Amino acid sequence: MVVGHGYRKQRERLVEAQCTGCHQLGSHAYGPDLCGLSGRKAGTAQGHSYSKPMKDSGIIWNNESLEWPAWCDHYVVATKQSKQKSE
């Protein structure tokens, strides 16, 4: 996926608004560390508990799967993540 500058800025604002309350880069927070996220299997970061549906989802984090609000209710039910739309 080729990501334009405007899209990248929009994504940065979305991450700041919706993700950094629980996730950080390079430090512990309530949710798993986002460093090294690309290519990681969902529900596998050490030191965190995950719902069975998330662990069994088979999701590998990448540009497409990080569009969380677009697919969360359809693909993974009973997660511990909030479900907010990205618009």
Sketch the domain layout of the chain as residue ranges.
5-75
pLDDT at 86: 43
Contact 72, 83 (CB under 8 A): yes
CA distance 40 to 58: 10
Matching CATH number, 5-75, of 1.10.760.10, 1.10.357.10, 3.90.1520.10, 2.60.120.620: 1.10.760.10
pLDDT at 67: 72
In the predicted model, is pLDDT for residue 6 greater than 80?
no
Whole-number average pLDDT of the chain: 73
Q: Which candidate, 40, 46, 41, 49, places its Cα nearest to that of 80?
A: 49
pTM of the model: 0.59
In the predicted model, is pLDDT for residue 74 greater than 70?
no
Q: Which residue has the tokens 């390079």?
A: 26
- Higher confidence at residue 24 or residue 48? 48
Spatial neighbors of 83 by CB under 8 A, at least 6 apart, are 69, 72, 73
Which range is most confident: 2-11, 41-50, 62-71, 78-87? 41-50
In the predicted model, is pLDDT for residue 43 greater than 50?
yes
Task: Find the range with the poorest average confidence among 8-17, 45-54, 67-76.
Answer: 67-76
